[in-house]
C-alpha cells in the first residue's frame, strides 16, 4: 500500500514537473543589460520589473525577465555586447551610449526600429531633438532612455568670497545663456580668484580628468564639425587650434592645472569639486549632483549643502558666441539576435512614460526624455531638474560614426599635448590631424 502510494506521488510529481516545463516553454525570456551607478541610476533596469505584469497582460504571454545591471567600465561593457552578439548570446535589450549605433548598426548587432516605433504611441512624446542622435544611415536604431546636460558647476561659496553679490551669483545661468558672460569672462573670473587668493593656482577651472564626451563641446563651441552634410568625418583645423589655444592658455595662466588629466575620479576629482571649497568652476555632468549628495557631502546636508554652495550653468559662449552643452543620451537598443524583438520593444514602450522615466530622472538628475514629463508635477516641482531642463534647448551631441573612436582619440591626444606643455596649440592640432589621417586614411577630410 505504501509502495503504491509512493509510486502515485512520484508520478504526480513528474506530471507536475512536466506541466511546469510546458508552462515555462510558453514563457518568453527577455534579457536586459544595463549599465548604472548604484543606487541612483538603478531604475534603468529596475523599471522593467515594474512593468512586467502590465506587458504580460497586454500581450497575453508570460515573460521571464532577466535583468543584468552593474557599473562596469564602458570599454568592457561594450566589448561584452560585441562578443556576446557574435556568440549568439546577446541580451535582447542593451542600454548603451547612442554613439554605439555607429559601430553596432553596420556590424548588424542591432535592428532598425523605424517600422515598429509608430506602433507604440508612447514614443510620440519623446523630445524630437533626441531622435537626432539615434540615427544612422537614414534609420532609427534606438529608443532614448535618458538625457543629460554637461554644465559648468560653479562654487557659490567661492564666488561669495570673491565678492560677488547673491544677485550676481543667481543670475549667472541667465547671463551665460544670453551670451553676456562668456568663456573668456569665466577664465578672467578664475584668474581674479587666484590673484586674490580665493583659490589656489590651478583650481580656477577643472574639466574631467579622462577622455569623454565633454571635450567635444569646446570644439563645437569654436565652430568645429565632426560630420559633413553627407555624414563623412571632417576636422576643422581652425576650430581645433582655437580649442587647444583655450585649453593651453588656461594652463599657462594658472587657471587650469597641467596634471588635471589623470586625476583619480573618486579619490580626488569628485570630493574636491563636490565640496565646493577648492575649485571655482568645474565642467561636469548633471548626474554628478546626486553622486556628490550621497557620497561626498552627505554629512554636510547632502542636497541642501549643494543647493547652498553650488550652481550650474551652460558652457559659456566661446568662438561661436553661443552658450552650449552636450547631451549624451543612453539608448535602449534591441539585439538582432533577439527572438522576441516585439516583446522587447513593448517593454521599452511601457517604461517610456513620465511616471517611470521621472523615477530615473529625479533620482539620478538626468533630464527627461518626454514632453509630458515637463508638465508632470514630480518633474516640474523638482528644483534641480527645473533648473537644468532648459539646457536641452542649447545642446549638441556626439556623432554616430564607426570612425568616431579614432577621431576622438586623436582629438584627445592634442588636448593632452597642449595641457602638459608638450606642444603649442598649432603643434597639438598637427599631432591630432596626423593621427586622424594615419588611422582614418581617406575617411577624414581636413578643412
Partner 1 sequence: MTVSSDKPKSSAALIQSRRNALRSYLGAYGFMAPAGVLVIVFFLIPVAIVLYLSVTNLASSNFTSDLAKMEFIGLKNYRTLFNDQFARKIFFNTIFYVLVTLSLFNVSLALIVSLLTTHIDRRAGFFFRALWILPRITSPVVYILIWKRMSAEAPFGILNQFNEFLGYPTYNYVATNPWVFVVVVNGFIGVSFGMIIFTSAIESIPKDLLNASLVDGSSRLQRIRYVILPLIRWPLLFVVTYQTLSLLTSFVEIQLLTDGGPGLYRTEVWSLTAYHRALSNYFGNAQWGYGSAFAVLLVMIGVVLAVIYMRVFRFDELIAEPRVEAL
3-state class (DSSP) for residue 178: coil
- Minimum Å gap between C-beta 106 and partner 1 is 5
- Nearer to partner 1 among residue 8 and residue 79 (C-beta): 79
Residue 299 interacts with partner 1 (CB under 8 A)? Answer: no
**In the block, residue with C-alpha cell 503504491:** 4
Return the range that interacts with partner 1 (CB under 8 A); candidates 10-18, 183-191, 299-307, 434-442: 434-442
Residue 201 interacts with partner 1 (CB under 8 A)? Answer: no
Residue 20 interacts with partner 1 (CB under 8 A)? Answer: no
205-206 vs 143-144, strand pairing mode: unpaired
3-state class (DSSP) for residue 333: strand
List, in order, residues 6 or more apart from 45 with CB less than 8 Å away. Answer: 32, 34, 36, 67, 68, 69, 95
- Minimum Å gap between C-beta 378 and partner 1 is 33
- Nearer to partner 1 among residue 247 and residue 349 (C-beta): 247
CB of 356 within 8 A of CB of 51?
Answer: yes
- Minimum Å gap between C-beta 74 and partner 1 is 6
As a whole number of angstroms, the distance between CA 432 and CA 416 comes to 10
- Minimum Å gap between C-beta 127 and partner 1 is 24
Residue 436 interacts with partner 1 (CB under 8 A)? Answer: no
As a whole number of angstroms, the distance between CA 239 and CA 321 comes to 13
CB of 146 within 8 A of CB of 361?
Answer: yes
Cis status of the peptide bond prior to 337, with omega within 30 of 0 = no
Size of the site for partner 1 (CB under 8 A): 50
As a whole number of angstroms, the distance between CA 430 and CA 437 comes to 10
- Nearer to partner 1 among residue 84 and residue 350 (C-beta): 84
As a whole number of angstroms, the distance between CA 312 and CA 255 comes to 19
**Containing H/E element for 340?**
none
DSSP H helical ranges for 87-144: 101-107, 128-131
Exactly one of 78, 156, 207, 366 binds partner 1 (CB under 8 A); that residue is 78
Residue 72 interacts with partner 1 (CB under 8 A)? Answer: no
Residue 396 interacts with partner 1 (CB under 8 A)? Answer: no
- Nearer to partner 1 among residue 70 and residue 174 (C-beta): 70
Exactly one of 413, 429, 436, 444 binds partner 1 (CB under 8 A); that residue is 413
Exactly one of 192, 252, 261, 294 binds partner 1 (CB under 8 A); that residue is 261
- Nearer to partner 1 among residue 150 and residue 356 (C-beta): 150
- Minimum Å gap between C-beta 168 and partner 1 is 30
**Residue-wise over 403-435: b if at least 16 C-beta within 10 A, else e?**
bbebbbebbbbbbbbbbeeebbbebbbbbbbeb
395-396 vs 152-155, strand pairing mode: unpaired
Residue 104 interacts with partner 1 (CB under 8 A)? Answer: yes
Return the range that interacts with partner 1 (CB under 8 A); candidates 11-19, 61-69, 348-356, 431-439: 431-439
- Minimum Å gap between C-beta 97 and partner 1 is 7
Residue 68 interacts with partner 1 (CB under 8 A)? Answer: no
Which three three-digit cell numbers place residue 333?
537598443
Residue 107 interacts with partner 1 (CB under 8 A)? Answer: yes
- Nearer to partner 1 among residue 97 and residue 368 (C-beta): 97
Residue 409 interacts with partner 1 (CB under 8 A)? Answer: yes
List, in order, residues 6 or more apart from 284 with CB less than 8 Å away. Answer: 150, 151, 153, 208, 273
Among 54, 131, 97, residue whose Cα is nearest residue 371: 131
Q: Where along the sequence are the contacts to partner 1 (CB under 8 A)?
A: 73-76, 78-79, 82, 85-87, 96-97, 99-100, 102-104, 106-107, 109, 210-212, 259, 261-264, 267-268, 271, 398, 402-406, 408-409, 413, 416-417, 419-420, 422, 431, 434-435, 438-439
Amino acid at each position: 500500500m505504501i509502495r503504491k502510494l509512493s509510486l502515485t506521488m512520484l508520478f504526480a510529481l513528474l506530471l507536475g514537473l512536466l506541466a511546469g516545463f510546458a508552462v515555462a516553454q510558453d514563457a518568453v525570456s527577455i534579457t536586459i543589460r544595463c549599465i548604472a551607478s548604484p543606487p541612483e541610476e538603478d531604475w534603468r533596469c529596475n523599471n522593467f520589473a515594474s512593468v512586467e505584469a502590465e506587458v504580460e497582460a497586454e500581450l497575453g504571454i508570460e515573460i521571464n525577465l532577466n535583468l543584468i545591471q552593474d557599473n562596469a567600465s564602458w570599454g568592457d561593457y561594450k566589448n561584452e555586447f560585441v562578443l556576446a552578439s557574435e556568440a549568439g548570446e546577446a541580451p535582447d535589450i542593451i542600454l548603451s551610449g547612442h554613439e554605439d549605433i555607429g559601430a553596432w548598426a553596420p556590424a548588424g548587432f542591432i535592428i532598425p526600429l523605424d517600422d515598429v516605433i509608430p506602433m507604440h504611441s508612447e514614443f510620440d512624446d519623446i523630445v524630437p531633438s533626441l531622435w537626432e542622435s539615434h540615427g544612422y544611415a537614414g534609420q532609427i536604431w534606438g529608443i532614448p532612455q535618458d538625457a543629460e546636460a554637461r554644465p559648468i558647476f560653479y562654487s557659490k561659496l567661492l564666488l561669495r568670497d570673491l565678492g560677488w553679490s547673491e544677485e550676481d551669483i543667481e543670475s549667472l545661468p541667465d547671463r551665460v545663456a544670453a551670451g553676456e558672460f562668456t568663456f573668456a569672462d569665466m577664465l578672467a573670473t578664475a584668474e581674479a580668484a587666484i590673484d586674490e587668493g580665493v583659490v589656489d593656482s590651478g583650481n580656477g577651472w577643472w574639466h574631467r580628468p579622462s577622455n569623454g564626451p565633454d571635450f567635444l563641446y569646446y570644439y563645437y563651441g569654436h565652430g568645429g564639425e565632426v560630420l559633413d552634410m553627407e555624414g563623412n568625418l571632417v576636422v576643422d583645423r581652425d576650430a581645433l587650434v582655437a580649442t587647444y589655444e583655450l585649453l593651453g592658455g588656461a594652463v599657462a595662466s594658472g587657471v587650469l592645472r597641467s596634471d588635471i588629466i589623470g586625476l583619480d575620479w573618486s579619490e580626488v576629482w569628485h570630493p574636491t569639486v563636490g565640496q565646493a571649497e577648492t575649485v571655482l568652476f568645474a565642467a561636469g555632468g548633471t548626474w554628478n549632483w546626486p553622486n556628490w549628495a550621497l557620497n561626498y557631502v552627505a554629512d554636510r546636508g547632502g542636497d541642501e549643502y549643494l543647493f547652498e554652495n553650488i550652481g550650474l550653468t551652460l558652457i559659456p559662449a566661446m568662438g561661436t558666441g553661443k552658450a552650449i552643452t552636450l547631451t549624451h543620451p543612453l539608448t535602449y537598443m534591441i539585439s538582432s539576435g533577439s527572438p522576441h524583438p516585439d516583446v522587447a520593444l513593448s517593454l521599452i514602450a511601457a517604461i517610456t512614460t513620465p511616471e517611470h522615466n521621472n523615477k530615473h530622472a529625479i533620482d539620478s538628475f538626468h533630464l527627461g526624455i518626454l514632453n509630458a514629463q515637463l508638465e508632470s508635477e514630480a518633474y516640474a516641482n523638482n528644483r534641480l531638474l527645473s533648473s537644468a531642463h532648459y539646457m536641452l534647448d542649447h545642446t549638441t551631441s556626439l556623432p554616430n560614426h564607426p570612425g568616431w573612436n579614432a577621431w576622438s582619440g586623436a582629438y584627445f591626444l592634442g588636448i593632452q599635448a597642449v595641457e602638459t606643455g608638450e606642444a603649442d596649440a598649432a603643434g597639438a592640432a598637427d599631432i591630432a590631424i596626423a593621427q586622424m589621417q594615419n588611422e582614418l586614411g581617406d575617411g577624414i577630410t581636413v578643412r
